[in-house]
Amino acid sequence: MSDTRTTRLIQSLPAAVPFVGPETMERARGAPFAARLGANESVFGPSPKALDAMKAACDEIWKYPDSTSFDLRHALAAQNGIAPENIVVGEGIDGLLGYLVRLMIAPGDAVVTSDGAYPTFNYHVTGHGGTLHKVPYRDDFEDPAALMARAAEVGAKLVYLANPDNPMGTWHDGDAITAALDALPEDALLVLDEAYVEFAPAAAPVAIDDALVIRMRTFSKAHGLAGARVGYAMGPAPLIAEFEKIRNHFGMNRAAQVGALAALEDTRWLAHVQAKVAAAREEITRIAARNGLSAIPSATNFVSVDCGRDGDFARAVLEALGRQGVFVRMPFAVPQNRCIRISCGTPADLALLADALPRALAEAGR
């Protein structure tokens, strides 16, 4: 039952949670997970320098944060060879997606995404009354050409594409992205979600002043600061300036700001994490193969493992793993939901997975 004082739009929507958190699951099962391999966090943790900076910042936590994230924005600009005016910092990619949809989408406006792609983006679109149009994946890859074609058909204002992709871990090279942009309507905007870009071979070579693209990046994955909620968007200065009209200017946590800056500067720790992730991807692939399953090549900090049957079977495997204390997730849409998605973990985490997976497959009825 809805509160009748809310808007008609809100009353028309079902209550929804894009992702049920592992803590909620742990309370439901009455025990913690032994291996937390479902949320694509970095179990390898943030830079020790970032932790030290955040601890020191706690002495000044009585102050509001810098409303402009000045130091962090300027450091990001220097790293990316752009101007600070091309960057806005926000409360993770999720927060920035919410601001962007608020800026761009009025009730009834068309938005294009892939069927089974990041559901939090869809959550924001429906919350602002937008109309979602979805195209299927193509061979476990998002299909840039199909996305652009659908955008032209429906007059879309936003087109969402993650590269590398979540939930499949697949990726397109930069030339494929730039080639697809040639077909994007001039009044549309490509939302290029690059949450996993630090694990990819390279980023797409899109000019920062390209009016057709806004890029989203985060400190939650490679930098290990998921709990701090720090993301940033990069794009043409006139579009970035529009965020000043609606963003929560004091929404960034003060300690998170200084932690992200320290993490950005610690390139040795980033390389350390990238190596750990690469090793974990290889181990997950070996575990899958030992159990007669195939792993989809990944450019992220997780691996999607094809369970070889349908979504019902994959869900049964996922639930059986959960009963053994191993938390993983799975894609939502057919046919990608034949897979389970396993985040990169420590050797101890993956040993638990290796022990639990054969029993989970047997319990699921293989």
**Predicted confidence (pLDDT) per residue in 294-336, tens digit:** 999 999 999 999 999 999 999 999 999 999 999 999 999 999 9
User: Are residues 255 and 285 located together in one domain of the fold?
Assistant: no
Q: Report how many domains make up the chain.
A: 2
User: Are residues 190 and 288 located together in one domain of the fold?
Assistant: no
Q: Which of 275, 276, 339, 279 is nearest to 307 (CA)?
A: 339
User: Are residues 302 and 247 located together in one domain of the fold?
Assistant: no
Q: Residue range 214-241: average pLDDT?
A: 98
Q: Residue range 199-216: average pLDDT?
A: 96
Q: Residue 316: how many CA atoms within 13 Å on its side-chain side?
A: 15
Which domain CATH number covers 276? 3.90.1150.10
16-20, 28-32, 63-67, 75-79: segment of lowest average pLDDT: 16-20
Could you tell me the residue range of the domain that residue 148 belongs to? 48-266
User: Are residues 127 and 74 located together in one domain of the fold?
Assistant: yes
Render pLDDT for 147-198 as a digit per residue (tens, 0 to 9): 999 999 999 999 999 999 999 999 999 999 999 999 999 999 999 999 999 9
Choose one of 266, 288, 304: the last residue of a domain. 266
159 φ/ψ angles, rounded to the nearest 5 degrees: -130, 125
Spatial distance between the Cα atoms of 36 and 267, rounded to a whole number of angstroms:
26
User: Are residues 81 and 23 located together in one domain of the fold?
Assistant: no
Who contacts 286 (Cβ-Cβ below 8 Å, separation ≥6)?
A: none
Please give the structure tokens belonging to residue 304: 């999607």
pTM check: above 0.85? yes
User: Are residues 256 and 275 located together in one domain of the fold?
Assistant: no
Decide if 3 is inside a domain.
no
2-11, 70-79, 110-119, 341-350: segment of lowest average pLDDT: 2-11
Which domain CATH number covers 97? 3.40.640.10
Across all residues in the chain, what is the average pLDDT? 97
Q: Residue range 213-235: average pLDDT?
A: 98
Q: Is there a contact between 162 and 190 (Cβ–Cβ < 8 Å)?
A: no
User: Are residues 93 and 233 located together in one domain of the fold?
Assistant: yes
The pLDDT of residue 52 is 98
User: Are residues 34 and 64 located together in one domain of the fold?
Assistant: no
User: Are residues 252 and 151 located together in one domain of the fold?
Assistant: yes
**Is 259's pLDDT higher than 90?**
yes
Decide if 155 is inside a domain.
yes
User: Are residues 68 and 39 located together in one domain of the fold?
Assistant: no
Spatial distance between the Cα atoms of 202 and 215, rounded to a whole number of angstroms:
14
The pLDDT of residue 1 is 62
Distance (Å) of CA 16 to CA 34, 35, 166, 238, 242: 27, 26, 20, 33, 29
Q: Residue 80: how many CA atoms within 13 Å on its side-chain side?
A: 26
User: Are residues 259 and 347 located together in one domain of the fold?
Assistant: no
Render pLDDT for 95-139 as a digit per residue (tens, 0 to 9): 999 999 999 999 999 999 999 999 999 999 999 999 999 999 999
User: Are residues 53 and 35 located together in one domain of the fold?
Assistant: no
Decide if 1 is inside a domain.
no
